[in-house]
Amino acid sequence: MTAVGRSSKTDTADTRASTGTSSPQAAVDAAAWWRDLAVVMVIFGVTILAWCTANNMWSMAAWSLPTTYLDPVYSDFVGTCGHLKAMATGHFLPYGWKLVPDMGAPQGANWTTIPTPDELLLGFFGLLAKIFGLFTGFNIGVLLGHLTAATAFYFVARTEGASNPWAGVGALAFGLAPYLFAESPHHVNCLYAWHIPLFVPVWRWLATEHGVPFGSRRFWLAIGVGVLTGLQNPYYTFVFCQLTFLAAAFVAWRTRSAAALAPALAVIGAAAIAFAISNLDTFTYRLFHDVANAPFITQREYRWMDIYGFKLVDLFIPYIRHHSDALAKFGLAHRQASVLNDEEGCAYLGMIGIACLLWLVAVSIRAMAERRESAVPLAAWQVLWIVIMFNTGGLNSIIAAFTGFTLFRTACRYSIVVLAIVLLWAARRLTAWQQDDGKRLPPDTLQIATSTAATGLCLLVLWDQVPRAPAPEQVAAIARQVAADRDFVAAMESALPAKAMVFQLPVMDGSPLPGVPSSDHYRPYLSSHGLRFTMGATKGSESEVWQQAVQKQLLAGATLNQQTQQIQFNQNSVAAAVDEMRKQGFAAIYVNRNGFPDRGKGLEKSLLELGYLKPPIDSAAGDLVCIPLTR
């Protein structure tokens, strides 16, 4: 499993690269650190320019707008912004009980009952929102996600023995990974993948016979990586713990001693303790309160295990915003033809990532064909395990099928782990070649050739991995949507009493409805200065159960007129539902017109007939209406 016992010069070079030793360029001296700092500054500058180009962020007005808003498929961005606003206002604090009075009316939203494993990250984004404003702070946080990924990869590659040029190329490819662009802004907890390169040295240490002795520097570094991982996205923690255990288990099997398992279990334990600390608020709240109706973890339908599973083909399919029209059309055609697609092209490795993966496969096949199994790089076994475990229909799916545990349904996200593994392996391999086979060339020639190749690869990264900028029409549409919501909420606040409660229809329980994405009802909260909304009540909570009962009462006896395509409400049912709302203190009904086949016209007519004569407040976008409950 480790790269030892090579008989050829190439194999010896790979062994040296794998162990990260005898690399004079990696020596920690002042000159080397100054060179590293210079390379990192260049990577910073290029990454910032590339991100700004991809998102058209060239003015303060652009920074104040989100890069998406009313996405027809995803609404995670709006929901995340709702959590960030709650943090910015002090109602959602990391590691504290999360009671949000402006959401989940009438009782208020209790977001403590469900684990939030990324609380430090959300707290950081909330701080940025408080300082810079909601959308500007969010954009800054997304950019920092790319910068931290590039920086962490570079320094891990350098400590693993990679030279400046190849570490720099890998850092740029990782920091501008298609995965990071695809996951932002919808899933910032996936975007922050900066710590994944740290997994690779821990796995390598544990896979060697001398291992990670207790109390050694390596041991405490591995424990630190475990803690950092446990505090962040559970998807990454899951694969980190698996390969940590497997690396040590292989050594234990080979040495016929269980001693190698102890450090690995300590690292896994550190990650588990960090995860528990992240959710201590949920554990303590559930300990002292009766929340039997609120699920601890919301499980999704099994079909998402198939749709969003890890698929090898997705690693090779470019996303639809590629700079090449031909590749963009190919990616679009594939997604239209396939029924199992990843998240917006997140699995694409990029041309450099694909080349590194194929190179790794070729080296491994050659070693196996020559019966040099020990010469197969450790990286190959790590990638193989990810394929076996997370491929659609793989072990992850089998476990879900028999247990119903579908938490890790979006296994296509593990493409970023594969990318980190193959890029680090290639950077070490190229460095070893540069040091060994490159000695045949004069030093100046070798330096020029290496620098030229690295520069060319960086240009390829920029062309291949950075998506094309959004069209001006798309940016203008987002600006109109944000402005329409802001003006709509301002009109509501002018017409309603301070801190008035607003009943939102249709009632949402966290699942999407036809025409209404799952988090769409958070939109008015983002612009509000004190109104209270029904959205945000956790499924099974007292507020959510009451809201569903009121909606059921409202719709009782309603029929759809097939000729006019308008809903005809039962006036007694509507009157009873509205009386219950007013009894609880609600001052208005908010309707997302897309959630009703008649766009809410039937309800407006029914309320008018009941004597609620105050003019409705319409959004300029035409999709929202607020009806004051004033006679």
Task: Kindly report, residue by residue over 528-554, the tens digit of the pLDDT.
Answer: 999 999 999 988 888 999 999 999 999
Looking at residue 414, its pLDDT comes to 97
Residue type, 203: W
Is this prediction's pTM over 0.85?
yes
What mean pLDDT comes out for the span 361-375? Answer: 94
Q: What are phi and psi of 228, to 5 degrees?
A: -60, -40
The fraction of the chain above a pLDDT of 90, given in percent, is 74
Alpha-carbon distance 425 to 612, whole Å? 69
Number of Cβ atoms within 10 Å of the Cβ of 322: 23
Looking at residue 438, its pLDDT comes to 67
Number of Cβ atoms within 10 Å of the Cβ of 334: 17
Alpha-carbon distance 312 to 510, whole Å? 31
Gyration radius of the chain over CA positions: 27
What mean pLDDT comes out for the span 82-93? Answer: 90
Specify whether the CB–CB gap between 18 and 2 falls below 8 A.
Answer: yes
Helix spans in 256-372 (H): 261-278, 280-288, 303-307, 325-337, 350-369
Q: Please say if the pLDDT value at position 183 is more than 60.
A: yes
Mean of the per-residue pLDDT values of the chain: 91
Looking at residue 382, its pLDDT comes to 98
Give CA torsion, residues 253, 258, 264, 269, to 10 deg.
130
Looking at residue 20, its pLDDT comes to 44
In 3D space, the residue among 199, 181, 196 whose CA is nearest the CA of residue 233 turns out to be: 196
Q: Please say if the pLDDT value at position 25 is more than 60.
A: no
| 352: its two tokens | 């450099």
What mean pLDDT comes out for the span 285-298? Answer: 74
**Model pLDDT for residues 151-164, shown as the tens digit of each residue:** 999 999 999 999 99
Alpha-carbon distance 146 to 194, whole Å? 8
Q: Please say if the pLDDT value at position 245 is more than 80.
A: yes
Looking at residue 96, its pLDDT comes to 87
Specify whether the CB–CB gap between 277 and 313 falls below 8 A.
Answer: no
Q: Please say if the pLDDT value at position 22 is more than 60.
A: no
Looking at residue 12, its pLDDT comes to 43
Q: Exposed, middle or buried: residue 336 (CB in 10 Å: 0-12, 13-18, 19+)?
A: exposed
**Model pLDDT for residues 445-501, shown as the tens digit of each residue:** 888 889 999 999 999 999 999 999 999 999 999 999 999 999 999 999 999 999 999
Local structure of 493: helix, strand or coil: helix
Q: What sign results for the dihedral spanned by CA atoms 149, 151, 155, 160?
A: positive
Helix H or strand E segment including 461: helix 443-465
Alpha-carbon distance 355 to 426, whole Å? 9
pLDDT band of residue 293 (cuts 50, 70, 90) is: low
Looking at residue 235, its pLDDT comes to 95
Q: Please say if the pLDDT value at position 18 is more than 80.
A: no
What mean pLDDT comes out for the span 570-581? Answer: 97
Q: Please say if the pLDDT value at position 511 is more than 70.
A: yes
- The residues, any chain, with a CB within 8 Å of residue 171's CB and separated by 6 or more, are 40, 43, 150, 151, 153, 154, 157
pLDDT band of residue 5 (cuts 50, 70, 90) is: very low
Q: Is pLDDT larger for residue 106 or for residue 92? A: 106
Domain ranges of the chain: 9-64+133-465, 473-628
Specify whether the CB–CB gap between 631 and 613 falls below 8 A.
Answer: yes
Q: Please say if the pLDDT value at position 290 is more than 60.
A: yes
What mean pLDDT comes out for the span 230-237? Answer: 95
- CA 18, chain centre distance (Å): 30
**Of the listed ranges 82-91, 361-370, 475-484, the one predicted with least confidence:** 82-91
**Of the listed ranges 23-32, 70-79, 175-184, 510-519, the one predicted with least confidence:** 23-32
Q: Please say if the pLDDT value at position 302 is more than 80.
A: yes
What mean pLDDT comes out for the span 172-194? Answer: 95
Looking at residue 116, its pLDDT comes to 83
SS3 per-residue string spanning 354-410 = HHHHHHHHHHHHHHHHCCCHHHCCHHHHHHHHHHHHHECCCHHHHHHHHHCCCCCCC
